[in-house]
Amino acid sequence: MKKTILFYNELHNGDIHMSRPYVMDMMQILGDNDYYYYHRNNPKILSDIDAPINPFDQLPRTPRDKIGFYPVPPSTVRMALLEC
């Protein structure tokens, strides 16, 4: 069953750029799922990642019991797994 995986980052271009390898690795490891990336910057910054890029303010807000948040140090990117 496909899951919805949300990557999100509240910071700036350098932080978004540095998250690229992590996001690409996670997409490869987790396989066939629906991926989305949310951030505040120009969507073209991650144009090579095969996931829709969305404005940060459109990040879905769901009850905490329906979503798992996974901060990934030292990266500034966060990953959320939606249990829909």
Over residues 16-52, the pLDDT tens digits come to 888 888 888 888 988 998 888 888 888 888 888 888 8
Name the range with the highest mean pLDDT among 49-53, 60-64, 79-83. Answer: 49-53
pLDDT of 65 > 50? The answer is no
Query: Using 50, 70 and 90 to split pLDDT, how confident is the model at 81?
Result: low
Average model confidence (pLDDT) for the chain?
A: 76
Which residues have CB under 8 Å from 3's CB, separation 6+?
Answer: 30, 33, 34, 81, 82, 83
Burial 36-72 (b: 16+ CB within 10 A, else e): bbbbebeeebbeebebebbeeeebeeeeeeebeeeee
**Which pTM value belongs to this model?**
0.73
